[in-house]
Structures are given as C-alpha cells and as structure tokens.
C-alpha cells in the first residue's frame, strides 16, 4: 500500500478555519479551554494534536463534518463521520421525514437540496414551478440557484430579479465564508456572468423596510405570486449526507398567492 501524504498539515488547516471565523489564537483558546500556547504550537506544527483535540477544536470552529474528516486525515487519524447514501436502508427514517415535510408544505413549494444547492427532491408545486424553464436546465444535476438566475431558467419570470438575485448571491457569499467550499465559489463566478445578476451592494434596498427578501414570479396565465422562504437542516446530524441537506420551504407573502395556489392544488 502507498501512504497518502496530506497536502496541508492539520495545523495549517486549523489556522485557516480559525482565521475564516475571525478568531485570534487567544479567542479560540478561551472557547476551547486550552492554552493559547498550545494552539500556537499546533498551528505551527511544533505539537501534534490528539484525535480528541482535533475534534474539539473543529467543534469550536463549527467546521463542517466533511472538513472535520479532512482535519483528522491531515493529523494522521481515520475519519469518524460516515457519508451514507440517502437511498440506503439506514436512511429510511430521514427519507420519510423529508417526504412528510415536502408533502406537508403543499400547496406551496418546497424542495430539498445538498450543500451546493443541487436538487435532491421537490414537492408537486415546486416541480410545477420548475417546469416553466428550458428543459436543458432540468438535466441532472439540477442546481436550484442556477435555475433561478439563468436566463433560460426562471430569471425572465422573476419580477424583482435584481433584488432577489442579490439576496441569493449574499446567501452564497455567507455560505462560502462559513464552508470554504470551492464549488460554491465556482457557482458564484458562473452566476456573476448571467444577465442582470446583482450583488447586494449595488441594489438600493432598505433592510428596515422589508420583513424578508421576497421571491416574486409571474407565470403564464397567473397573477404575480409572492413568496418568502425558510431553510431547515438536520440540526443533530452526525452523517455527512444528512448534515449537508437543507429543506427550503416557500410560503405565500400575500392573499393572492395563498388563494391562487390553494385553488391549483
């Protein structure tokens, strides 16, 4: 067997996550209840952290489970977090829960996405909404944010496109800061090349005047529909697959939207 040498040492990776969270070594030491000197020694490679310390520091830094495995590997330890396929038998309770949430949100749209916003599952209203896009946009993997902002997707139908695209870009920006996921960075670069996509700084919106960032869409032969959405995750997940899933549920922001969808479904 050939030994695999990590590209980066665990100390470098921990320092990167600490700086990403905008914490000093002293801040992290206080949070983790270890000495700042030991944190410094770990980051510079002068001390080899135990498996327990790696996991403890990762917890304090809110490192995603996938990246906690990478930290362990870089420190010479085996990964501890499994990544179980969603269609496996052991995931049956999670699948049932997701199906109930999606069905329970009807007649309003709801969908399940992975960490890069690729579609996992959708209820009937969400599928109907996505049926208004170019079929090429529905070739797997279907990326829900790409569908919203692509000119052959929902973009021509979104009546507050500048505002909503800025909201989605800000959502991705925050996720990138928290996760450091190169896939999110690549997606953002792609989206910036789409016509009309805005960044929040260029959109004249007063946050104090809004309860939420609305999603407004005008479908053929229907009145303008206005939604707000919520995001939910498996808060205690110890499996990478579950930890990286998110459920986005859309709710009517006005009576017209509520009445229209209740009449349709």
28-53 pLDDT, tens per residue?
999 999 999 999 999 999 999 999 99
Sequence ranges of the chain with CATH classification 3.30.450.180: 89-264
More confident residue, 204 or 177: 177
- Looking at residue 265, its pLDDT comes to 84
- Looking at residue 211, its pLDDT comes to 60
Q: Write the CA distances from 164 to 138, 215, 233, 254, integer angstroms.
A: 21, 6, 22, 17
More confident residue, 3 or 57: 57
Question: Which CATH number is associated with domain 89-264?
Answer: 3.30.450.180
- Looking at residue 3, its pLDDT comes to 38
Residue 4, pLDDT > 50, answer no
Per-residue model confidence as pLDDT tens digits over 94-141 = 999 999 999 999 999 999 999 999 999 999 999 999 999 999 999 999
Residue 194, pLDDT > 70, answer yes
Handedness of CA 237, 242, 245, 251 (dihedral sign): negative
- Looking at residue 32, its pLDDT comes to 96
Query: What's the 3-state SS for the chain?
Result: CCCCCCCCCHHHHHHHHHHHCCCCHHHHHHHHCCCHHHHHHHHHCCCCCCHHHHHHHHHHCCCCHHHHHHHHHHCCCCCCCCCCCCCCHHHHHHHHHHHHHHHHCCCCCEEEECCCCEEEEECHHHHHHHCCCCHHHHCCCCEHHHHHHCCCCCHHHECCHHHHHHHHHHHHHHHHHHHCCHHHHHHHHHHHCCCCCCCHHHCCCCHHHCCCCCEEEECCCCCEEEEEEEEECCCCCCCHHHHCCEEEEEEECCHHHHHHHHHHC
- Looking at residue 206, its pLDDT comes to 54
More confident residue, 39 or 211: 39
10-74 maps to CATH 1.10.260.40: yes
Residue 199, pLDDT > 90, answer no
Are the C-beta atoms of 147 and 133 separated by less than 8 Å?
A: yes
Residue 60, pLDDT > 70, answer yes
Residue 1, pLDDT > 50, answer no
State how far the Cα of 18 lies from the Cα of 24, in Å rounded to an integer.
7
> What's the predicted TM-score (pTM) here?
0.88
Sequence ranges of the chain with CATH classification 1.10.260.40: 10-74
Average of per-residue pLDDT across 2-14: 69
- Looking at residue 141, its pLDDT comes to 93
Task: Tell me the pLDDT band of 235, cut-offs 50, 70 and 90.
Answer: confident
């Amino acid at each position: 067997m050939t030994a695999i040498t990590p590209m980066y040492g665990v100390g470098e990776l921990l320092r990167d996550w600490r700086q990403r969270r905008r914490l000093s070594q002293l801040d992290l030491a206080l949070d983790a209840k270890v000495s700042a000197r030991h944190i410094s020694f770990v980051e510079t490679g002068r001390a080899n952290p135990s498996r327990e310390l790696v996991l403890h520091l990762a917890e304090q830094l809110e490192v995603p489970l996938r990246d906690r495995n990478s930290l362990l590997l870089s420190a010479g330890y085996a990964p501890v977090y499994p990544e179980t396929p969603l269609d496996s038998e052991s995931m049956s309770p999670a699948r049932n829960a997701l199906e109930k949430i999606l069905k329970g949100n009807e007649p309003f749209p709801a969908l399940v996405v992975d960490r890069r916003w690729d579609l996992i599952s959708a209820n009937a209203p969400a599928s109907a909404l996505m049926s208004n896009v170019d079929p090429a946009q529905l070739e797997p993997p279907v990326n829900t944010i790409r569908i919203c902002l692509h000119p052959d997707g929902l973009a021509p139908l979104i009546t507050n496109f500048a505002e909503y695209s800025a909201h989605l870009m800000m959502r991705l920006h925050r996720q990138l800061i928290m996760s450091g996921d190169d896939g999110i960075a690549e997606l953002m670069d792609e989206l910036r090349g789409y016509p009309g996509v805005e960044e929040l700084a260029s959109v004249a919106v007063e946050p104090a005047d809004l309860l939420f960032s609305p999603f407004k869409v005008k479908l053929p032969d229907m009145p303008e529909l206005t939604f707000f959405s919520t995001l939910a995750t498996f808060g205690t997940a110890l499996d990478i697959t579950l930890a990286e899933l998110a459920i986005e549920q859309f709710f009517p922001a006005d009576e017209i939207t509520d009445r229209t969808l209740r009449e349709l479904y």
